[in-house]
Structure 1
């Protein structure tokens, strides 16, 4: 739990935490903090500071494109749990159901049908939850 460990907040981690809440939805960081402990603290801090505080905060490409890239990479790596989170982020960042469908069709060619088929299943659940498909 968060009150059981000391979480010093740097400017970079504060930026990362803000971006995670914007990307994944309000309450995402609080839910992660509720599961934080002395074992997972360092990987949580790494995610906040490096992934979100340093890379996601860069201006070279917009968040929608970053999300779409992540959807493609996580499909290729067959990481369904992370894919679900980043599909949520892609929707929050303005990716449409049609854009996500095209990205996943592209992954079928280059990553294989089993990986893309699983990604389609997860995307269909996420998009249905957001009332973006019938």
Structure 2
């Protein structure tokens, strides 16, 4: 299996078939290169490595995406984190930790996105 196929499989395992199908529908001649980069490098090479597990990768991504204030990507990685075994309590702690180091505005936005994801999964009390 080549890195593109590995990457697509990792994406499917993390975010599901519907995510991958929706992503494929946005592909065109212009953005195909960035889709391929994500599939081959991000997911096919880095996410497929065994040095740390997927839950740890998810935790890192949530913290970094909060710091960068990237809500669209954060949403996808919150979904992936839940798939990778992160609990609601762990997500709350990750975002609270990020608030201290990334600032309150970024953390408030991240909490808002997380609440939407959790509500959609019926995980918010």
Same fold by TM-score greater than 0.5: yes
Secondary structure, aligned partner of 1:119: helix
Cα separation, 2, equivalents of 1:121 and 1:28: 21
Q: Are residues 1:127 and 2:121 paired?
A: no
Q: Deviations over 1:52-110 (max 9, x none)?
A: 00000000111111011100000000001100110011011110000000000000100
Alignment equivalent of 2:60, drawn from 58, 64, 69: 69
User: Which has the higher Rg, Structure 1 or Structure 2?
Assistant: 1
5 Å-filtered alignment, 1:53-64, equals 53-64=44-55
Q: Point out where structure 2 has 5 or more consecutive residues left out of the alignment.
A: none
Q: Are residues 1:89 and 2:85 paired?
A: no
Cα separation, 2, equivalents of 1:34 and 1:115: 30
For residue 27 of structure 1, report the CA deviation from its aligned partner.
Answer: 2.3
- Provide the aligned length of Structure 1 versus Structure 2: 125
Name whichever structure is richer in helix by fraction.
Answer: 2
Q: Are residues 1:14 and 2:31 paired?
A: no
Cα separation, 2, equivalents of 1:89 and 1:59: 17
Q: Deviations over 1:18-71 (max 9, x none)?
A: 100110112222221111110000000000000000000000111111011100
Cα separation, 2, equivalents of 1:128 and 1:30: 23
Cα separation, 2, equivalents of 1:60 and 1:105: 26
Q: Point out where structure 1 has 5 or more consecutive residues left out of the alignment.
A: 1-9
Q: Kindly report structure 1 stretches of 4+ aligned residues shifted beyond 6 Å.
A: none
CA RMSD of aligned residues (A): 0.9
Per the normalisation by structure 1, the TM-score is 0.90
